[in-house]
Amino acid sequence: MKTGVVTFHSAHNYGATLQAWALQKAIKKLGVTPCIVNYHPEVIDRLYTVPRLDTWAKRMQYLKKREVRARRRKLKIKYTRYQRFLREHFALVGDYTIYEELIANPPGLDCYIVGSDQVWNPDHTGGFDPAYLLEFAEKSSRRVSYAASIGRERFPAQYRNNFGEALKKFTAVSVREDSAVGAVAEVTGQEPSVVLDPTLLLLREEYEEIKVPTKRAERYILVYMMETNRRLVQLADNISIATGLPVIQRKPGRIFRNELESFYTHTPGEFLGEMEGAEYVITNSFHGTVFAIIYGRPFLSMLHSKTGSRTVDLLRSLGLEDHILYEARDFKDMKQFKIKNPRELKKRVEELRAESLRFLCGALGKEEA
């Protein structure tokens, strides 16, 4: 059986790319042939393509011309390296930029899976996009959602009927967060399953296939911000000064007082290497939190202002709520953010992984994981 995944695989974002790669690998381990439906709409592409220099300069009016050119060079390097990673590590099928192309020439697969990531968040898809509800799928094909996320507690009112009608055609529905259960139940009349993010379906060792070990000899703090947060920056600066450890971070410009380097142009595999080698991880990213857990790094999470609920749901499910720092004044030292019971954590992840794989097996028509 050939199964196609529809997700944000083309987003130049470590979490988006790695969850897609992990789901592709997990499906293959179940004896099913996976591929990634290469749907990359303009609403996604425009966030990562390299703009003309004059367009870039208008966006970056607050920077000097020399720095504008330097940042654009970094963006070109990142774009080229990221695109190469996608070509080398994804089994891409088709080349679709609008939904109508999928309707006119569907991939012709036995099963389609939408997810993970915020594929049902209209803020990310430019409104309601039927592609992420698999409306292009052939009538004979299975339609499945795996760990789909909506980034909110309810579907927007203007799209509830659209989501409800589309989801009723699915063979199996699952979401990533507890907070999304009510939203799906409201429009379908049935509660979906809650499953792990695809990145947690794999063992740490399985990422060796794509991981590039860090070449750094010195100890360092890895800061992974998906939105700039002044409190997080100040806290990380203070921790860096207190520990004497420099910071590496993902933004293109310098942010921290004791900053060693930006890993802005790193591939997903290089990001994994940096995560593995970090002394401490400070993040407001869901997947920054996930990979700190996978690599057993001491970490603290300061919640993203819009999507922090997914991090809360994950950490509660794993018994790691004490890694959330709600107020900077509550910080004492990084010792309080060391993973305290790694054996218990491993056991809990294994239980949730088994449940999630059982869902995936059933959705694909397989008997057991």
Domain at 50, CATH number: 3.40.50
Q: How many domains is the chain partitioned into structurally? A: 2
The upper half-sphere exposure of residue 216, i.e. CA atoms within 13 Å in the direction of its Cβ, equals: 23
245 within domain boundaries? yes
Say whether both 65 and 167 belong to one domain: yes
Domain at 261, CATH number: 3.40.50.2000
Say whether both 40 and 23 belong to one domain: yes
35 within domain boundaries? yes
343 within domain boundaries? no
Say whether both 160 and 23 belong to one domain: yes
369 within domain boundaries? no
The upper half-sphere exposure of residue 85, i.e. CA atoms within 13 Å in the direction of its Cβ, equals: 27
Say whether both 217 and 74 belong to one domain: no
Say whether both 144 and 65 belong to one domain: yes
- The domain of 322 spans 211-338
344 within domain boundaries? no
The pLDDT value given to residue 309: 81
Say whether both 10 and 137 belong to one domain: yes
Say whether both 187 and 257 belong to one domain: no
The pLDDT value given to residue 57: 57
Say whether both 198 and 215 belong to one domain: no
Cβ atoms of residues 286 and 179 within 8 Å: no
Say whether both 227 and 198 belong to one domain: no
117 within domain boundaries? yes
Say whether both 307 and 172 belong to one domain: no
Residue segments in the chain with a per-residue pLDDT below the cut of 70: 51-66, 68, 367-369
Q: Which two structure tokens, joined as six digits, stand for 271?
A: 């990001």
- The backbone region for 121, taken as left when phi is positive above 0, alpha when psi lies in -120 to 50, beta otherwise, is beta
Say whether both 84 and 195 belong to one domain: yes
346 within domain boundaries? no
Cis peptide bond upstream of 262, omega within 30: no
268 within domain boundaries? yes
Say whether both 324 and 178 belong to one domain: no
